[in-house]
Structure formats: C-alpha cells, structure tokens
Amino acid sequence: MTVSIEKEYIHVVVAVIKNSKQEVLVSRRKADAHLGGLLEFPGGKVEEGELPEDALRRELLEEININASSFCPLIQIPYSYSDRNVLLDVFLVESFTGSVIPQESQEVFWKNIETLNDIDFPAANFGVLRALQLPKLLPITPNYSEDPDNFLIYFEKLVCRDVIQIIQLRSHELNDNEYLALAKECSALCKRNGVALILNRDIQTLNVVSGANMHLTSSRLLKTTSRPLSDQKIVGASCHNLQEIQHANSLGLDYIMLGPILEKSTFKDSVNLGWVGFSNLVKKSIIPVYGIGGLSMVDEEICIVNGGQGIAAIRDIWRGILID
C-alpha cells in the first residue's frame, strides 16, 4: 500500500515476524539509543526513493540475516513523540529464508503474542500490539427482536466456530433490563467457548456482566473523557469522521469501527465513505480500524489493502449460520 509521506515524518518500516507457535521476534534497544532498553520489532528508516517493501527486505537482511519471502501490510501508524514524528509502516512476515542471526550485537528472542505488554515497547507500538492481538473479523449481532426465538441458538452456533475470537452484542432496541438479561446468557456462551464478549452499553451494564468488554457508540465516545475500562479489557468505538477518530485515539482505545463504507447507516450525519474515504481516514488512526457498512466476508481483503484491520459484519455472519 502506497502512502504520501509528509516531510516532517520519519518513515520507518517495521517487521512483525511470526512463527507457527504464535510467537513474534523482538529485540531490545541498546541503552544509548532513542528509547533505549525497550523492546522493538526489527526494522528501520526508509531511504529516499526506496519502496517500503524493499526497505523491509533490506533491513531484515542487515539486522538479522534473513530474507522475507512472504509478508503483508499489518497497520500504518502516524505517531508524534515530543522530539520527533514517525510513520510506522508495519508488515506481518509469516515466512522467511535463512537463520536469525543478530548482525548488530543486539539481543533477540521470540515472545508469545499474548504476553506482549505495552510498557515494554515504545508508545508508538500501542496500535501494533493491538493489531497483532485482534482478529480480522469482528462479528456483530443483529437485533434480538428480529428473531427472539432463535437468537441464542444462532449466537451459540457462531461462538462455537474456531474463527470467532470476539463478538459484539448490539441490540439497541432493548431496554437496559432486557439487554442485561440477554448479555448474561451470551456471556455464559462466550466463556464456554473462549470468545471475548463486547457489550454495546454504558459502564453500569458492563459492571454487572462479569468479564465483559465495551463498545462506545459515536455519541457515547464524544462524551467520554478517559478510557472507561482497564487495559485488561477491550474497548472500541464507532467512528464516522476525523474528529471521532482523533478522540478515540486520545482515549487509548483498542480499535475503531469506521463507516459506513458501502451503505448509509442510521447515524443522522453519516455519508458513505467508499474505499477511498475509508483509506484516507484510516491513515489518521494510531489504532486498528475495522471497516463496516454493507460489507461481507469477501470484502475482508480489500479492507486490509486499504489499511484496515478487517471487517465488522452483521448480516453476512448471521446468514452464514443459517446456510450451514
């Protein structure tokens, strides 16, 4: 994916090298370096006139003696430190040739993805870690009232699937008591299948449902002044414009759902972004962005090509259960 790099940004490629054990390769920054002592992923500056992909291959060969044979974009992060601005062009490397041999006397080791901790990395890596730990698919339930007799049956069939890691319970039409009762049943099904449940309600509801995560509507997002849950929980938000994206970034949320892309939503001021509009706004986010709005499973790849983490889908997921 090609981006326009502003002159004041230092363009850096980052390689997240992943093995079959769900581990990634990290190194420790030298004590006398910028942000010394922290962990980092292999990579370095893109030279003038150099393509990011070519810079990635060069840096990996120079730093750790390997040739990347298969890699794809993971996330792009524009980040401002007090003394410099960087644009991280992050790639996921899933295969390479050669043996990892440090070429700069640096300490390198493999670390499980689930154990990656924000405090061990430079601040700009916050979004990189989220992109690694979040799946490509974020299912959202349709309204409970559309088919109350079968809702929990379909919900259980969905969370039983290996591909499902997280799911959001929406159902805005339910009052708080109705939603809470449904959330408790969905929570039990999610825990049984190792799936993270995200509730689309206020903090009071979440406090009653053990282990629940949180999604903020765009209106709740703009009223929120600090991250509402601890770093141990997942917190995301719906965004439709740059102002909302910037606010979500400032709160240190874990993901954004951005849209609508292909269909107009019920949000009164929303407009179809299209893929160009989506791609332009994604470049302003320092956390992963899911595309939403008229998307189906076949749109996952185009969403990723345009800088997204993946897709948030409702109807296509639910219909898939019925087809099965």
Asked if residue 84 has pLDDT above 50, the reply is yes
pLDDT at residue 73, rounded to an integer: 92
What is the rounded CA–CA span in Å between residue 118 and residue 39? 10
pTM value is 0.90
Sheet-wide strand order for 108-112: 39-40, 23-28, 108-112
What's the mean pLDDT in 135-147?
94
Q: Any idea which fold 137-323 has?
A: TIM Barrel (3.20.20)
For residue 2, the model assigns a pLDDT of: 39
Output the average pLDDT for the chain: 90
DSSP state of 201: S
Whether pLDDT at 1 is above 60:
no
Query: Which position has the higher pLDDT, 313 or 65?
Result: 65
Q: Tell me if 199 sits within 8 A of 215, measured CB to CB.
A: yes
Contacts of residue 322, defined as CB under 8 A and 6 or more positions apart, other chains included, come to 154
Instruction: Residue 65: name the closest of 30, 31, 105 by CA.
Output: 105
Mean pLDDT over residues 187-214, rounded? 90
Residue 4 — pLDDT band, cuts 50, 70, 90?
Answer: very low
- Find tokens 């150099």 and name the residue: 50
Residue 208's pLDDT is 82
pLDDT at 106 over 50: yes
Task: Work out the percent of the chain whose per-residue pLDDT is above 90.
Answer: 76
- Per mean pLDDT, which of 5-19, 23-37, 75-89, 185-199 is the most reliable? 185-199
Is-contact 293 130, C-beta < 8 A? no
* Phi/psi of residue 176, nearest 5 degrees: -60, -40
Helices (H), the chain: 52-64, 126-133, 151-159, 176-193, 203-208, 218-223, 242-251, 274-282, 300-305, 315-323
Identify whether the C-beta of residue 97 lies closer than 8 Å to the C-beta of residue 66. yes
Where in the chain do CATH 3.20.20.70 domains reside?
137-323
**Residue 122 reports pLDDT greater than 60:** yes
The CATH 3.90.79.10 portion of the chain extends over: 9-126
Q: Report the C-alpha gap between 183 and 198 in whole angstroms.
A: 9
| pLDDT at residue 316, as a whole number | 78
Answer for the pair 26, 104: CB distance below 8 angstroms, yes or no. Answer: no
Checking if the pLDDT of 3 tops 60, the result is: no
Share of the chain above pLDDT 70, in %: 94
Q: Tell me the average pLDDT across 100-119.
A: 92
In the CATH scheme, what architecture does the domain 9-126 have?
Alpha-Beta Complex (3.90)
Report whether 127 contacts 75 (CB < 8 A). Answer: yes
Q: For residue range 15-38, list pLDDT tens digits in order.
A: 999 999 999 999 998 877 777 789
pLDDT number for residue 269: 62
Q: Which residue has the higher pLDDT, 249 or 37?
A: 249
Tokens of 221: 């997002």
Query: What CA–CA distances, in Å, run from 137 to 70, 76, 126, 248, 292?
Result: 22, 19, 20, 20, 11
- Average pLDDT of span 133-160: 94
